[in-house]
Structure 1
Amino acid sequence: MSSLPEIILIMFLLSSIVLVSSSRLVHCIQLVALQGVLLGIMPLIFWDWQSSAPHGELVFLAIVNIAVKGVALPMLLILAMRRAQVRRELEPLVGYALSQLIAMLIIAGCFAGYRHLIGAAATNSALLAIPVAAATMLIGLFVIIARRKAITQVIGFLVFENGIAVFASGLMVHHGAIVELGILLDVFALVFIMGIAVFKISREFQHIDADRLNTLRDRRDPESPATPAGYTGE
């Protein structure tokens, strides 16, 4: 039973590795939903059940985490994906095999830094959340940078925020639930707005390719001259 926190953290890292190597958006969304469920049960797993039962605030936060990150946000992303008529990330900036290698290197680097700073003798499961959280945040940032589709970048943002939540779950089990709940509500509102924006962009431009959207310029009236009449530059 003592190894259960480590199993949860390993599952979290494996889901991040599989996510960066998947081109199917529905699989990426399902993995984000899995991370949301793991985040929901993580504070309960880290709790010292031998001393006392978890307080109601912690149980409430776990339920809200599962409901929002494990159910509501994935459903919102699937709805945005279907309305945008996008199924795959076909042309990422970084290939999937290389992305998987980079994710593994990120995880290895985070654990190496953890061993250097904390020491190999540290066996507290809650402290293991530090390298897992750092690796998850960096992988989320990598997904945002390495993918073209706006909806995939939203998924990367969620992975990044999940890393912050892992850190909070591991080190702030006894307090900080209200802060975590506030962050959770902010993330829900932001992803809700992002989902609406993705749908609107797809309807107007027939694509959600972030690179192509970066080339947009202000529309100029072809009948208006480039410079005002009579302008001499003085």
Structure 2
Amino acid sequence: MNPLLNALLVVVLALNLFALGTSRLVTVIKIVSLQGVLLGLMPFLIEGHLGWRLLLASGGTILLKGGIIPFMMIRAMRDVQIKREMEPLIGFLPSMLLGALATGFALLFSKSLPLASAHTTPLLVPASLATIFVGFILLTTRAKAITQVMGYLVLENGIYIFGMLLMGAMPLVVELGVLLDLFVAVFVICIIINHINQAFSSLDTRRLVALKE
């Protein structure tokens, strides 16, 4: 296993904890953007050779995850004039501790999975599971819609890491289709965020329980 790949995965795990420990929305967006760039570089370290398929998939990942989606989220954040996550369901320090526990659990659990010998890499599967857990924590313990979107993106990053185990078997059209679906989902969510803010003058999704037919 390329030691540089392991180093990038360690950075991804560290970024997960930073995302759980900050209240500033722009910081969370930048963390997810940096994760997207790192994920776009990882296929080059796994494949070990350049090709048009690899360049197209990795370039699309970096452009979408590291550029377009963060730009859309920062613009949405400025439109609704919200800068911080003020009242999470679980505090920021407990969230970091929960994320650290999830990372430790992922490291232990991955050892019991019946993986092929080519996939028993030191950190690829644990980093994938830990990132999925952290995304789920952000998605379920934050009240602001923008932070919940970031949780969705972190969760998707974890799935993307796991998908790199199947890079050789996954057709390019599938990879690009997943990125397109992600872009459309975030685009629709940004529209929903603006409607929530217009209706409630807040992005606290707990206010949605007030909706009536």
Tell me the equivalent position of 2:79: 83
Counterpart among 63, 66, 84 of residue 67 in structure 1: 63
Given that 2:89 and 2:141 are in contact with CA atoms closer than 8 Å, whether structure 1 keeps it comes out as yes
Counterpart among 54, 57, 81 of residue 53 in structure 2: 57
Q: 1:99 to 1:123 in 2, by over 3 A?
A: farther
Deviations 1:58-92 (A, max 9, x none): 11100000000000000000011011111000100
What's the Cα RMSD here? Answer: 1.8
Tell me the equivalent position of 1:159: 154
| Structure-to-structure mapping, 1:62-211, within 5 angstroms | 62-117=58-113, 126=121, 128-169=123-164, 171-176=165-170, 177-211=172-206
- 1:127 Cα offset (Å): 6.0
Partners of 1:56 and 1:182 lie apart in 2 by 17
Tell me the equivalent position of 1:221: none
Tell me the equivalent position of 2:36: 36
Partners of 2:161 and 2:45 lie apart in 1 by 12
Indicate the larger mover: 125-134 or 204-213: 125-134
Partners of 1:21 and 1:148 lie apart in 2 by 15
- 1:3 Cα offset (Å): 0.9
Partners of 2:25 and 2:103 lie apart in 1 by 23
Q: Structure 2 length normalisation: TM-score?
A: 0.93
- 1:28 Cα offset (Å): 0.1
Deviations 1:83-127 (A, max 9, x none): 1111000100000000000000000001011123369xx796756
Misfit runs of 4+, over 4 Å: 122-127
Tell me the equivalent position of 2:22: 22
- 1:214 Cα offset (Å): 2.0
Structure 2: runs of 5 or more not aligned: none
Please tell me whether Structure 1 or Structure 2 has the larger radius of gyration of its CA atoms: 1
Percent identity reads: 36
Given that 1:6 and 1:125 are in contact with CA atoms closer than 8 Å, whether structure 2 keeps it comes out as no
Q: Structure 1 length normalisation: TM-score?
A: 0.85
For 1:117, what is the secondary structure of its paired residue?
coil
Given that 2:2 and 2:46 are in contact with CA atoms closer than 8 Å, whether structure 1 keeps it comes out as no
Q: 1:123 to 1:7 in 2, by over 3 A?
A: farther
- 1:207 Cα offset (Å): 0.6
How many positions carry a matched residue from both structures?
211
Partners of 2:135 and 2:5 lie apart in 1 by 22
Given that 1:165 and 1:180 are in contact with CA atoms closer than 8 Å, whether structure 2 keeps it comes out as no
Deviations 1:165-219 (A, max 9, x none): 11112x023231321211111010000110111012212321110111223223x
Q: 1:61 to 1:106 in 2, by over 3 A?
A: same
